[in-house]
Amino acid sequence: MKLNQLADQIHAKTIALIAIAKALEFTDLPNPHGGTPLSQSQAQQITTVFRYMRDRQIVDPKAAIAQMQMSDPAATAEIAISLRTSVADELCRRYPNGSMSDRILRLLGAVQSLEQLYALSVQPQVSQASVKPTLSQ
């Protein structure tokens, strides 16, 4: 596999993958302009770093690699979420700052607060309905 073929596979720009390859210290790349042959493990490493950067909106490959090395893979489980474009646009509009995962967490927090308020507003009605005064004869 070549670097430009990998770029086509993961829908990335070759120049971004070249930056990742350099950050991974793949110094033996003879032709860094897209035609460089890659081993399977090199292609997998580049793809992993690219996806990590894309998912977390990181622009510097060295920073992403440092974060990947510092993180404990056993401590956090990755959850893949697929959002429709309209939902993602709405999240960006409502929460303009932060990564997509931050926006989702804020939305989930808002939903949880709403559920708690709803439960409190329904609960007094339930208790009032269950206590009915009866006339004793």
Q: So what's the pLDDT on residue 108?
A: 86
The 10s digit of each residue's pLDDT in 31-66 is 767 788 888 888 999 999 998 888 888 889 998 888
pTM of the full structure: 0.52
Give dist(CA 42, CA 30) in Å, integer.
14
C-beta separation of 21 from 32 below 8 A: yes
d(CA 27, CA 21): 8
Q: What letter represents residue 94's amino acid?
A: R
